Structure formats: structure tokens, C-alpha cells
Structure 1
Amino acid sequence: MKKWLQRLIVIFVAFITFGIISPNHEIWEHLDYDQSENSKSNLPDSAVVERSIADQRDNHSDSSNESYIDTIIDDAKEQSFIKFGTRIAPVIGDEFEYSIFPKMEEIIGIELAKLDSNSLKYIKITEQPSGNYSEKIFNLIDVATGKDLIRFHVRTEKRPLEGYYYNFHYHTYEDRFVTHHNVGDIYYSKNTPPKWLS
């Protein structure tokens, strides 16, 4: 391929991809093949470049989606510990982190995987867990529509002869938040637990 044509393609691709694909990117190796190597491939140079550009965009989109999902999961954990407050967190924090939160993280990941990149950017975690003895930890909400996708709750249960347990569960929009989906239980103690956020 003529050098001037190759340089023109490099400039064009760098401009179209906003600099994501630089002149020393691996796709340019395909342009350096001689005619004999090029004949081994069924794809012409332009198809190789277009496929590589599409792969690069998909990878960039996937990584930004993963990054955004990680941010949502971090916010979910933060809101959970805010809900526990300074009196409950020391008692159940470790068990929550190792046995309950990984399940919550998986549930959030499954729900967010159903969304496309455009819809995903409108998903947020509510920032005010409820206090007293109310159940709400946080909701996963679509701010574009104002509707909840998932509601994560924790209920205080007194079991005869055993004491108090925290039951972690969630509700989804798919059944209009009717079904109680269990995540797990954590034992607190035989003593009455303090109010949330305390």
C-alpha cells in the first residue's frame, strides 16, 4: 500500500475514533502485510480495519460499563454500612461482607446485565437508608423514569429461644415488588438490637 494512503487512513481513523486508536496500534500491522500475506486472508484491508475499530469500541464500551457497575456496587456497600450505623456494623459487618454482600452484588450484576449501555447510565443507588426499625437499605432506581428496579431490605426478626436475626431480602419490579426474595440471615444476639442508623 502506498505510504501516503496509509498515512491518510491513520489520520482518518484517529479522527473518527477520537484518538482511541493511535498510529502505533496493532490494527496498523494489518496494513503492512504484503500482497501474498494479504491473499491468505479472505478479508480486504478495509474490512480488517473496520472489524478492529468495532472490536476496540466494544471493548471500550464494555470496560466503561464494568466500571460503572463497580461504582454502583461500591455505593450499595456504602449505603448498607450507613444503614447499620456505628452500633450494629461492628457486630454483623464482617459476616455481612463475606456472606450477604457477595449475593447482593451478584443480584445487582444480573439485573444490570439486562440493560444496554444507554440505559445503564441512568441507574443509581438511593442515598438515604431508612432508620428506626424500617427495612429499606437502598433501591436501585432508573432516574430517567423515576422507577425502582430492585429494593434491598433488611428485616429484624425475633425467633423464640434463639434471639434476634437480620433477614436480608430484595423485591423486584418484575413482580411489582410483591415476592420476598431471600438473600440470607445474620444472627445479632438475644438482646434487643438498636435502631438502624444509630
Structure 2
Amino acid sequence: MSIWLKKSFFVLLSILTFGLVSPTQPFLNEENHAFAKNNGKPSSVEATPEEAREEESVLTHDEFIETMLEQAEKNAYEKFGTKIKPVIEDEFRSLILPNIERAIADTAAQFPEEDLTSLTISEVPQYAKTEKIFHIYDERSGEDVIRFHVRKDHPPKDGYYFNFHYHTVHDKFLAHHELGSIYWNKNTPPQWMSVS
């Protein structure tokens, strides 16, 4: 209800009842509630709920990268499980994570800041044999933007390696973009998500 209409109603009610009846508390509290929502500042124009949500949820590129990187590390450790994680964690942090950060930053640079809020990170798949660590996808369309994977490599007459790489929408996910490899040892590594 507009402010002038509220004031007119208040004045009319006061005149008709000779000031004996005042408006109810909920009527008065609407204005106080709007006043409190604006941190004590009166608002001349009220924002719609969609506008308020957009203003609050716009991420800067740096905030987006930081959020995605935290989730990427969490998803990677979940994928590794408690048998693999302790063995490769240090190398993953020092060699692979900075490359993941670079890939996420390159991807974020291709989007305006207002579109970054629609990009989200997928869950770690429960099926242990897949290469997928996580994907970053657009919630609006449901389509992947970038896919981060790890596979177990076993070159002839050599030990096992974890090969980290990613695929992007720009080449239709065909090319492998290397993030790095971490040596396991000559023994077959445990399944993903194995618990010790």
C-alpha cells in the first residue's frame, strides 16, 4: 500500500471517529517492517523480490573462483576416498589444484559477473569407476561448461599414474586439457572412494 494512501486512511479514520480509534498495529507495522528491512533508511522505491535477489547474489569473478575452488578440492578428496587421499594429497594441492584454479578462472572470464550465479558445481558421482571428479554447469540450461576428470593410467613397464585433465564446451568436450599427473606406485591403486 502506498504511503500517501496509508496516511489518508489514518487521517480519514481519525476525523470520522474524532480521534478515539487509531489504526491497528499490523497496519502501522507494515511501514516499520519496510523501514527495518532497509537498515533504518526509508525507501522511496521498493525493489521487487527478484531485483533484491539479483542484487544480493551477483558474484565477482574472484568470489566465483574462490567458491568453485573450495568445492573442487572437497569433491576431489571425496572422489579419492580415505585410501588414496593421504598418499597423493600434498602433490594434488601443490601441482593439480593451481591448474584447476587457472582453468576455472579462464572459464569465469568468459562470462559476465551477473551470469556467474547460474554456474554451479556438480556432485561427485557415486559410481566409483567413472573419471568424473566434478563438472561446472549452467543451472538455467542444465548444460556443462567445463568437466574435470581423473583417470588411472598404466604405461607399459611403468607404475600407475593419476592423470588429471579437463574438457570444455568450446571444443565440444573432445580435447583433453592436461592438468598434470601424480605417480601412485607399481601396485594397482584402490577403487575411487575406497575407505580404509
Partner of residue 137, structure 2:
141
Q: Distance in 2 between matches of 1:145 and 1:131?
A: 24
Distance 1:195 1:107, change over 3 A: same
1:123 equivalent in alignment to 2:119? yes
Distance 1:179 1:63, change over 3 A: closer
Partner of residue 102, structure 1:
98
Aligned match for 2:173, one of 157, 173, 177: 177
Partner of residue 186, structure 1:
182
Secondary structure at the aligned position of 1:183 is classed as strand
Q: Which has the higher helix share?
A: 1
1:167 equivalent in alignment to 2:163? yes
Q: Distance in 1 between matches of 2:151 and 2:113?
A: 34
Q: Distance in 2 between matches of 1:105 and 1:152?
A: 11
Partner of residue 83, structure 2:
87
TM-score by length of 2: 0.67
Distance 1:63 1:138, change over 3 A: closer
* Deviation of 1:132 (Å): 2.7
Q: Distance in 1 between matches of 2:84 and 2:61?
A: 33
Unaligned runs of 5+ in 2: 1-37, 40-55
Q: Distance in 2 between matches of 1:113 and 1:61?
A: 18
Secondary structure at the aligned position of 1:72 is classed as helix
Instruction: Quote the RMSD (CA, aligned, Å).
Output: 2.1
Supply the AA of the counterpart residue of 2:138: D
What CA deviation, in whole Å up to 9, does each residue of 1:36-90 have, x standing for no partner? xxxxxxxxxxxxxxxxxxxxxxxx9997442233111110111011100100001
Q: Distance in 2 between matches of 1:152 and 1:66?
A: 20
Task: Answer yes or no: is the 8 Å Cα contact 1:133–1:156 preserved in 2.
Answer: no
Q: Distance in 1 between matches of 2:164 and 2:60?
A: 30
Rg larger in 1 or in 2? Answer: 2
Partner of residue 10, structure 1:
none
What CA deviation, in whole Å up to 9, does each residue of 1:125-183 have, x standing for no partner? 10124543320000011111100000000010112222100111111111110111111
Secondary structure at the aligned position of 1:151 is classed as strand
Aligned match for 2:71, one of 62, 75, 79: 75
Q: Distance in 1 between matches of 2:69 and 2:60?
A: 14
Query: Where do 1:29-40 residues align within 5 Å?
Result: none
Q: Distance in 1 between matches of 2:61 and 2:138?
A: 16
Q: Distance in 2 between matches of 1:154 and 1:124?
A: 20
Q: Distance in 1 between matches of 2:126 and 2:168?
A: 18
Percent identity reads: 43
Q: Distance in 1 between matches of 2:174 and 2:168?
A: 8
Partner of residue 132, structure 1:
128
Task: Answer yes or no: is the 8 Å Cα contact 1:150–1:170 preserved in 2.
Answer: yes
Q: Distance in 1 between matches of 2:169 and 2:61?
A: 22
